[in-house]
Chain A
Amino acid sequence: MAFVSSGYNPEKPMENRITDIGPKHFEQFYPPVIKANKGKWAYHEVLQAGVLKHVAESGDEVYTVRVGGARLMSVTHIREICEIADKHCDGYVRWTTRNNVEFMVDAEAKVKPLIDDLESRKFAGGSYKFPVGGTGAGITNIVHTQGWIHCHTPATDASGPVKAAMDVLFDDFKSMRLPAHLRVSLACCLNMCGAVHCSDIAILGYHRKPPMLDHEYLDKMCEIPLAVAACPTAAIRPTKVEIGDKKLNSVAVKQERCMFCGNCYTMCPSMPLADTEGDGIVIMAGGKVSNRISYPKFSKVVVAFLPNEVPRWESTTDCIKNMVEAYAAGANKYERFGEWAERIGWERFFDVTGLEFTHHLIDDFRDPAYYTWRQTSQFKF
């Protein structure tokens, strides 16, 4: 493994340095039919799950075949995507905002050969490489995060639970039978990278134990005031501790005021809190970002804790499947998950889903918590 230089000279690092050139211009990557008809599209139709047709004012058509992507992917897999795009799509391909892959062709006759090719490709373990679906009133890809593959603050994994959940929800990726589209997302800690706070159903990694304190290193590794300021509930204060014969600057954590968010660890490496039994998953539901009919909504906590069950997170996937079926059975056409829950009332939501309502679900964070309690005599038995 001999080092191969790119031409960069570490002796003169600023020489020949190119900066601030930004991304490539998007237009050079447009398929010709897109370039020719940009801004002049007349209408579209979903021909079947995973297949879209857009018709331009000129009469030109573009057919899009959407396939599921694992998001975490190898260059071998990307090269296979390129091979398919070369074979069927004149060398063009794109990704969606939910990390699906879209192949576009300019004639209907090209659609079936493309789909047949995509659906014929499987990994050695048997899973589809390019399942066609993810359109209309179904369940598309799960927006997710790094988990145990790359991050230092997670309370759960990302890729594993997502694979487990999509296997369970696969039929709804491949069909459009729901009242409206249903967005699932996952974040492995409550930094909520991605879309957990605004999804129909969300999986959120959560801790349940206060941080441990590495007193011996804390003042050397951390800016103590930043750790203090990182706490939303002011559970952290600076203090002095005696370790052996040394008096050290450190912090103290008022454990009954800590709600295990982990933000102090983000700021201070000497406050780790990950724990095998303590960590697990919170399920949230009812969020949306579109402005269609109702305003955008935050998702709400509906299950306070499910354990991390490697490798397939059965309690989590069972819970989600159950929620999807209750929604499919009870919601009106066009009604998003949160609109349905609000219409029937959250008490009825817990009724029909069979989810347990516990004290953890009642908001107790500062002034706004009051507005989530029920200031009315209107409720259902």
Chain B
Amino acid sequence: MAKHETPLLDQLESGPWPSFVSDIKQEAENRAKNANNVEFQVKQDVCEDILGVLELSYKHGRTHWKHGGIVGVFGYGGGVIGRYCDQPEMFPGVAHFHTIRVNQPAGKFYNTEWLRNLCDLWEFRGSGITNMHGSTGDIVFLGTVTEQLEEIFFELTHKHGQDLGGSGSNLRTPSDCIGEARCEYACYDTQALCHFLTNEYQDELHRPAFPYKFKFKFDGCPNCCVASIARSDMSFIGTWRDDIRIDQDAVAAYVGGEYPPNAGAHKDGNWGAFDIQKEVIDLCPTGCMKYEGGKLEINDKECTRCMHCINVMPRALKKGLDTGVSILVGAKAPILDGAQMGSLLVPFVKVEEPYEEITEVIEAIWDWWMEEGKNRERLGELIKRQGFQAMLDAVGIDPVPQHVKEPRSNPYIFWKEDEVPGGWQRDVNEFRKYHQR
């Protein structure tokens, strides 16, 4: 017999998609049975109470969590999201229900021994409920009490060699696409760069020193599988600057129907036989391709590396060999002055250990934003307020046409005084000698 009636949530147990309600119920049952005699450090019926409070929210159409919550572990200024229920008498199991962010390994690969260790720890000292994973990338332990925070952190670091993730006005947990681990499109080792920078900037991640939050994400190619261009203040997108490699025999195999277009991604639709002209040549955004006499040609100088042709014919077309990253900056959600995607700052830089060319850009951006950024002003908003040129100046990057989608159409152009012969200090009386009032 469940502790709380949940008639509304029960309706989310049917249907084919994995039901979070069924899963929480199974955890509630397992805690009630406690087959392994775990000495639970939060209430045994915490999962019953989370379903209870959620059911109440369904009834009211409103959340039942109090505003905010400031908890954490000594030495760090973030990593834990405090949360308290606004009906603690009704649902004592979730009176405290803090979230702990645990820094995931790059690429989110795991072995089962490691995952089981985390599960054992979280069953013992938390609710047994998680998010796999938070949008930023962290493993999220969902729901524990304040007294357990230091205990969990002690076990994480001492027994498992594992740190917390980020929260607050700091560098948040970086994350990446699968990269070279299992993708032929990857232009650099996203996992290696993600791991390196996460460790390089541990202080900036754990102790808020910024005007606001700041995120890194690493995409191996312009397909953007980790959506860095939309979801990180500094977005690292793999690219190349030499020629796309063409295997003409493989092109013929696509044309002949031997290989499925787009690796078979459209297998269940009725799209007819592959038509290279219609599906590749005519869709190229720059029109830099042609297919004549059974031969595919690419004018690479005009290619913008959008990935379309490579995506359609992965066995025939390969990225170039001179690879690196483009760095884009400023992406953010709407609050306060509108959503932004990353804007191109560094068109191309090689990705080579010890990554100095990359850390130089990061640190120059931080130097500028940490000094000039207003309270709770994302990097993208500072760029809008002070101008793209101010950022280029601060970071020491020369303006190039690649920095804009189009030149400005208004003529409200600022000049620096030293760019103008004679400067700005002028005498009106001198002017009047030639121009009567």
Contacts and interface: CB of A to CB of B under 8 A. Distances in A.
Interface of A: 1-8, 10, 13-14, 16-31, 34, 38-39, 41-49, 54, 62, 64, 68-79, 81-83, 85-86, 91-97, 99, 101, 104, 123-131, 135-138, 143, 145, 147-154, 157, 159-160, 163-164, 166-167, 170, 173, 175-179, 181, 190-198, 226, 229-230, 232, 261, 263, 265, 269, 272, 274-277, 279, 287, 289-296, 298, 308, 310-312, 333-334, 365-366, 368
Contact of A43 (B202, B263, B267, B375): B263
B267 A176 contact: yes
A42 B250 CA distance: 12
B289 to A, nearest CB: 13
Contact of B182 (A17, A62, A176, A368): A62
A154 B54 CA distance: 13
Contact of A23 (B20, B105, B180, B312): B105
Contacts of B405: 295
B252 interface: no
A73 B18 CA distance: 10
B397 interface: no
Q: Which 5 pairs across A and B sit closest by C-beta, in order of nearness?
A: A125-B13, A136-B265, A167-B15, A269-B67, A123-B22
Bin chain B's interface residue count. Answer: 35 or more
B229 A296 contact: yes
* Interface SS of chain A: loop
Contacts of B404: none
Interface string B327-358: 00000011111110100000000000000000
Interface stretch (B124-132, B365-373, B416-424, B426-434): B124-132
Contact of A128 (B17, B161, B267): B17
10 contacts: A22-B199, A23-B104, A23-B105, A73-B131, A74-B30, A97-B175, A127-B18, A154-B63, A195-B227, A198-B231
Contacts of B129: 72-75
Scoring A46, A173, A272 by chain B CB atoms within 10 A of each residue's CB, the highest score goes to A46
B308 to A, nearest CB: 5
B13 A41 contact: no
A126 B54 CA distance: 21
A96 B231 contact: no
Nearest to A23: B103
Contacts of A14: 74-75
Contact of A82 (B23, B116, B202, B222): B116
Contacts of A48: 267
Contacts of A18: 157-158
Given A68-B17, A191-B335, A274 B267 contact: no
A164 B222 CA distance: 32
Contacts of B394: none
Nearest to A14: B74
Given A20-B206, A157-B58, A127 B19 contact: yes
B17 A38 contact: no
A148 B229 contact: no
B231 to A, nearest CB: 7
A85 B261 CA distance: 31
B18 to A, nearest CB: 4
B78 interface: no
B17 A26 contact: no
A291 B268 contact: no
Given A72-B23, A176-B267, A311-B58, A263 B315 contact: no
Contacts of B162: 21, 23-24
Contacts of B151: 5-6, 8
Nearest to B130: A73
B357 to A, nearest CB: 20
A377 to B, nearest CB: 20
Contacts of B435: none
Given A192-B339, A269-B68, A78 B199 contact: no
B228 to A, nearest CB: 8
Contacts of A289: 224, 227, 229-231
Nearest to B129: A74
A78 B333 contact: no
Contact of A44 (B47, B105, B152, B184): B184
Contacts of B12: 160, 163-164, 311-312
Contacts of B105: 23-26, 29
Contacts of A45: 260, 263-264
